[in-house]
Amino acid sequence: MKKSFVLAALLFGGITVFAQTKDEQTLKEIYKSSLTNAKCYPWLGHLSNTIGSRLSGSTGAEKAVLYTKAQLETLGLDKVYLQEVMVPKWVRGEKEIGYLQLGKQKIAFPICALGGSVATPKAGLNANVIEVKSLEELAALGEAKVKGKIVFFNRPMNPEFVETFKAYSGCVDQRSSGAREAGKLGALAVIVRSMNLRLDDFPHTGATNYEDISKEQRIPATAISTNGAELLSKSLKANPNATFYLKQSCETFADVLSYNVVGEMTGSEHPERIMVVGGHLDSWDLGDGSHDDGAGCVQSMEVLNIFKNIGYKPKNTLRVVLFMNEENGVRGGKEYETQSSKKNENHIFALESDSGGFSPRGFSIEADEANFNKISSWATLFEPYLIHKFVKGHSGVDIGPLQSNHIVKVGLQPDSQRYFDYHHAANDTFDAVNKRELELGAAAMASLLYLIDQNGIAK
């Protein structure tokens, strides 16, 4: 670690004074700027409250592109531009209807179509329901027991995992692949328990896919709230011959033109070396995407604002990228890599924020042993700011495609305990984001980018 002067204890009249290193002082300035002079919270307020949901191909996404570009231009950056990318356009349509038919009684359930799902027939569909806990259990039942029925996937997130993303990854396959696998067996539709650790009435959407199956096998896919899943399971046990009525009118259109939004501070010493910081600008359509991932976008923008405020000029080129279409295609991340490869750009570092705007706890790092150890060695610099987690792991979906001869990828890791209360649901709104927590995340990101810029990466 570079030091402007040696850390020393000097005695003056019995008072011990501790000198600070240059890095310690800069991190202090970064945090002060973020906590007292940040723009990320009002930026997020406009994205959430004025623009709203930003699903790829929507009017909201288009407005978000224009707004964030205009805000980056106010920072006096060296470059601000849009990068074209073709994205899918899926529209939810009318509000979904779902209820269990028990004789003359109808029990309504909170449901929502999964992203990319096909519609039901216009009149809806009505069928018996078969409950399963996994794709393996579905396969074991076989076509004879599945054909003509609605498959209800009811595997909850495992509450034993303190790391909630581990719980999420342990059951998300039923959402992403459930409709495809059930369709192969002749099911009429699937209902999937929401990816949420708490019991509430918010259904959580998210992408499903029909890869490698025919159009005839593509069946409607809907999510049900966790409270709804509990009630449906209980009701089916008491009334196994009950039928479920489902109606949804979602539709997929031809791809449309959209954009990644890019802002750049050109490196003062090594302009050919690029460091990326970013999040994804698109969001699902039920809420306004404040945590997922408006927070990551405005935090990434704030990094550049912080450097402007403290007068820091990066040695390497620093580029903020607001990626389009992470939620249902990753087209923005893939196109950014395609264009970067064509230009033979040299990316040395990429940092993504896509885990919510909660209190930052550390970083997950994709790097070789030398670079992992190098970043981990800065842990003491982050301790005063309650950043303690330096672990090997996934960095981010949008920076995943990015390739270079030598590149280190990192993901911001906030406290994750509340994240899945809001993830892909109607309650992912501005009021769920704490201003100070959002600003602390931006400061943590700026601090790591500063240290990488000053010290470089190991090769």
Q: State both tokens at 445.
A: 């990101």
On whether residue 419 sits in a domain, the answer given is yes
- Spatial separation of the C-alpha atoms in residues 151 and 129, rounded to whole Å: 6
**What pLDDT band is residue 107 in, cutting at 50, 70 and 90?**
very high
pLDDT over 70 at 1, yes or no: no
Transcribe 287-309 into DSSP letters: S--IIIIIHHHHHHHHHHHHHHH
Q: State both tokens at 393.
A: 């792991």
Q: Distance of CA 101 to CAs 109, 146, 186, 433, Å? A: 11, 19, 22, 39
Q: What is the pLDDT of residue 309?
A: 98
Q: What is the pLDDT of residue 64?
A: 98
The answer on 104 and 198 residing in a single domain is yes
Q: What is the pLDDT of residue 11?
A: 36
Question: In the predicted model, what is the mean pLDDT of the chain?
Answer: 95
Q: Which among 266, 297, 288 has a CA at the least distance from the CA of 71? A: 297
Say which residue the tokens 């202090």 belong to.
Answer: 28
Q: Which helix (H) or strand (E) holds 43?
A: helix 40-45
The answer on 241 and 221 residing in a single domain is yes
**What pLDDT band is residue 348 in, cutting at 50, 70 and 90?**
very high
The 10 Å Cβ neighbour count of residue 162 is 9
Q: What are the tens digits of pLDDT across the range 252-283?
A: 999 999 999 999 999 999 999 999 999 999 99
Averaged pLDDT for residues 234-248: 97
First to last CA, the chain: 17
- Spatial separation of the C-alpha atoms in residues 98 and 258, rounded to whole Å: 34
pLDDT over 80 at 298, yes or no: yes
Q: Give the pairing of strands 105-108 and 79-91.
A: unpaired
Of 232, 249, 266, which one is at a domain's C-terminal end? 249
64-80 core/surface letters (b: 16 or more CB in 10 A; e: else):
bbebbbebbeebebeeb
Q: What is the pLDDT of residue 405?
A: 86
SS (H, E, C) 65-100: HHHHHHHHHCCCCCEEEEEEEEEEEEECCCCCEEEE
The answer on 216 and 121 residing in a single domain is yes
Averaged pLDDT for residues 274-303: 98
Q: Comparing 6 with 155, which gets the higher pLDDT?
A: 155
**What pLDDT band is residue 293 in, cutting at 50, 70 and 90?**
very high
Q: State both tokens at 19.
A: 């000198």
Q: Comparing 389 with 10, which gets the higher pLDDT?
A: 389
- Spatial separation of the C-alpha atoms in residues 96 and 101, rounded to whole Å: 16
Q: Which among 121, 55, 52, 62 has a CA at the least distance from the CA of 91? A: 55
Q: What are the tens digits of pLDDT across the range 189-225?
A: 999 999 999 999 999 999 999 999 999 999 999 999 9
Active-site residues, by number, are 326
The enclosing domain of 245 has a CATH number of 3.50.30.30
Q: What are the tens digits of pLDDT across the range 138-155?
A: 999 999 999 999 999 999
The answer on 258 and 363 residing in a single domain is yes
On whether residue 150 sits in a domain, the answer given is yes
The answer on 263 and 362 residing in a single domain is yes
Q: What is the pLDDT of residue 17?
A: 36
- Spatial separation of the C-alpha atoms in residues 289 and 285, rounded to whole Å: 8
The answer on 382 and 315 residing in a single domain is yes
In the DSSP assignment, the letter for residue 115 is B
Of 249, 276, 307, which one is at a domain's C-terminal end? 249
Q: Which among 218, 334, 350 has a CA at the least distance from the CA of 275? A: 350
In the DSSP assignment, the letter for residue 437 is H
Looking at the chain, the whole-number percentage of residues with pLDDT higher than 70 is 96
Of 201, 234, 249, which one is at a domain's C-terminal end? 249
Q: What is the pLDDT of residue 3?
A: 40
The answer on 124 and 70 residing in a single domain is no
pLDDT over 90 at 4, yes or no: no
Q: What is the pLDDT of residue 15?
A: 38
| Domain range for 99 | 93-249
The answer on 243 and 130 residing in a single domain is yes
Residues forming beta bridges with residue 165, ordered by sequence position: none
Q: What is the pLDDT of residue 20?
A: 72
**What pLDDT band is residue 5 in, cutting at 50, 70 and 90?**
very low
- Spatial separation of the C-alpha atoms in residues 418 and 139, rounded to whole Å: 33
**What pLDDT band is residue 6 in, cutting at 50, 70 and 90?**
very low
Q: What is the pLDDT of residue 425?
A: 98
User: What's CA 296's distance to the chain center, in Å?
Assistant: 8
The one-letter amino acid code at 146 reads V
The answer on 237 and 268 residing in a single domain is no
pLDDT over 90 at 243, yes or no: yes
Q: What is the pLDDT of residue 209?
A: 95
The answer on 395 and 260 residing in a single domain is yes
Total of domains in the chain: 2
Q: What is the pLDDT of residue 165?
A: 96
- For the chain, the 3-state helix, strand and coil shares in percent, each to the nearest 5, are 35, 25, 40
Transcribe 243-257 into DSSP letters: EEEEE---EEEEEEE
Q: What are the tens digits of pLDDT across the range 384-436?
A: 999 999 999 999 999 999 999 899 999 999 999 999 999 999 999 999 999 99
The answer on 412 and 288 residing in a single domain is yes
Question: The pTM is what?
Answer: 0.94
The enclosing domain of 350 has a CATH number of 3.40.630.10
Q: What are the tens digits of pLDDT across the range 41-79?
A: 999 999 999 999 999 999 999 999 999 999 999 999 999
- Spatial separation of the C-alpha atoms in residues 137 and 131, rounded to whole Å: 10
Q: State both tokens at 107.
A: 């029990």
The answer on 244 and 313 residing in a single domain is no
